[in-house]
Amino acid sequence: MSATLPLDAPPRAAAVVLTVLIPFGCGYYLSYLFRTMNAVISPHLVREFSLDPADLGFLTSVYFITFAAMQIPLGVILDRYGPRRVQTALLLVAALGAAMFAIGDSLLAITIGRGLIGVGVASCLMSSFKANALWWPRERLALMNNLIMAFGGVGALSATAPVHALLTVTDWRTLFVGLAIVTVALAVVTFMVVPERRSTTVSSASIIEQFAALPAIFRNRVFWRYAGPFSIFYSIYMSYQTLWAAPWLRDVGGFNQAEVADYMFLIQLGMFFGVLGSGVMADRLRRRGVGPERIFPFAVAIAMLLQVFLVVVPSASPGFFWTAYSLIASSIILSFTILTERFPPELTGRVITSANLIAFIFAFAVQWGIGAIIGTFAGKPDGGYLPVAHSTALIVMLALEACAFVAYFLFRDPVKFVVEE
């Protein structure tokens, strides 16, 4: 069983990296692997289950809606019971979902399996951020949170060319059986290795009192200034990064399946270096008195400009533009650090999961919506989609982002939030 330490114990950084950062980082690795794999295995799912674009969008996005449904209770139980126990229990649910997905013989069966995966990995990033808030000083949160995101980047990388290579020697069902086994093993390691801080393991407030703080969070202008725009930008980023960039590369770029997998690998590599780079940049700028909130609008503006290029010149180096977009847009995750810094420590679980809830509700709607927009156009004889269908969907997404960008500057309120529990 893990060690239990008092809140004021001065842990060594190396010990925290080994027993906190790495186990939770591995959880987020699996979360992103599960999230992104559909972009590579989707042709197999389409053939085996006769899926149309809306079906594929729904199947992939059900992960997001079950993920989102977990966020409000997750915030409360993270603040009450701590990230170690919450992460352990939910990873076992993810393992069950992976097993069901592997043996599913109908669209309904694999949809249920993917939904359970969404429930099970719902805590991976939020537990990591909660653990970082407990174990690291606030001035290091941007770097440590983005290091966790880098684990997700490796998971996204693993879901591209490596998964495509594995599919040449085995099938997608066997892959999910293996993932179920690995997920159970990680749950055991997390429970045994991760320490706890005694005074933060159980909240002094009752469950009812903890839930009672949620309306105040959702009424707060500081929360909405970052959580609102972040949800729009991040949901669109996730939808393309985890699914719709691959059909774009095939239908607009004209690449074959192996080339698409290679380019998806580069896109995920862009995410990896993006979260690392923005974390290091935020950490260094912090020492000069510049907070991560200064980086956010610039990253969003550049990401939108890259999307404009994809619309205006859709066939001109789409692999480059999608990779550059992933590199820049991944820094949007700094919003979680910004929110963590603006709210009391005892509320961090509920604040970040509330923001994540909004993001994943949008992600469900956006990923399904992109498929619905594409599906309104006639399909190609080879089973692909028309370039104009992809461009139309991206134009709609850009319009949503433009509205969110304007809203970001309208919600100008630097006052920190304080609530009595």
Q: What is the pLDDT of residues 329-362, one digit of tens each?
A: 888 888 888 887 788 777 777 888 888 888 878 8
Lowest-confidence range among 51-55, 65-69, 71-75, 207-211? 207-211
User: Quick check: 200 pLDDT over 80?
Assistant: no
Lowest-confidence range among 129-133, 244-248, 367-371, 378-382? 378-382
Give the model's pLDDT for residue 204: 58
Give the model's pLDDT for residue 418: 44
Give the model's pLDDT for residue 228: 84
Give pTM, 2 decimals.
Answer: 0.71
Give the model's pLDDT for residue 417: 45
Q: Is 13 left (phi over 0), alpha (psi -120 to 50) or beta?
A: alpha
pLDDT band at 246 (very low <50, low <70, confident <90, very high): confident
Q: CA-to-CA distance for 174 and 166, rounded, in angstroms?
A: 10
User: Quick check: 415 pLDDT over 50?
Assistant: no
The yes/no answer on whether domain 11-194+220-410 falls in CATH 1.10.10.10 is: no
Q: Are 267 and 326 in contact (CB under 8 A)?
A: yes
- Report CA 321 to chain centroid distance, whole Å: 21
Distances (CA, A) of 67 to 12, 36, 246, 360: 33, 14, 23, 7
How confident is the model over 186-204, as a mean pLDDT? 74
Question: Taking all residues of the chain, what is their mean pLDDT, rounded to a whole number?
Answer: 83
Percent of residues, the chain, with pLDDT higher than 70: 91
How confident is the model over 396-411, as a mean pLDDT? 88
Per residue in 260-270, pLDDT (tens digit) is: 878 888 888 88
Give the model's pLDDT for residue 400: 93
User: Quick check: 420 pLDDT over 50?
Assistant: no
Lowest-confidence range among 76-85, 160-169, 203-212, 274-283? 203-212
Q: What residue ranges do the domains of the chain occupy?
A: 11-194+220-410
pLDDT band at 2 (very low <50, low <70, confident <90, very high): low
How confident is the model over 61-80, as a mean pLDDT? 83
Give the model's pLDDT for residue 11: 59
The single residue listed with the structure tokens 């229990």 is: 89
Burial of 165 (0-12, 13-18, 19+ CB in 10 A): exposed
pLDDT band at 159 (very low <50, low <70, confident <90, very high): confident
Distances (CA, A) of 26 to 87, 91, 146, 178, 360: 11, 11, 14, 16, 21
Lowest-confidence range among 99-103, 155-159, 380-384, 413-417? 413-417
pLDDT band at 241 (very low <50, low <70, confident <90, very high): confident
Distances (CA, A) of 245 to 95, 196, 323, 335, 390: 27, 40, 10, 24, 9
Give the model's pLDDT for residue 206: 66
User: Quick check: 235 pLDDT over 80?
Assistant: yes
User: Quick check: 202 pLDDT over 50?
Assistant: no
Per residue in 98-136, pLDDT (tens digit) is: 999 999 988 899 999 999 999 999 989 889 988 888 888
How confident is the model over 164-184, as a mean pLDDT? 92
How confident is the model over 25-34, as a mean pLDDT? 92
Q: Are 110 and 49 in contact (CB under 8 A)?
A: yes
The single residue listed with the structure tokens 């989609």 is: 385
Give the model's pLDDT for residue 19: 85
How confident is the model over 39-45, as a mean pLDDT? 83
More confident position, 206 or 311: 311
Give the model's pLDDT for residue 413: 54
Query: CB-based contacts of 313: which residues, under 8 Å, 6+ apart?
Result: none
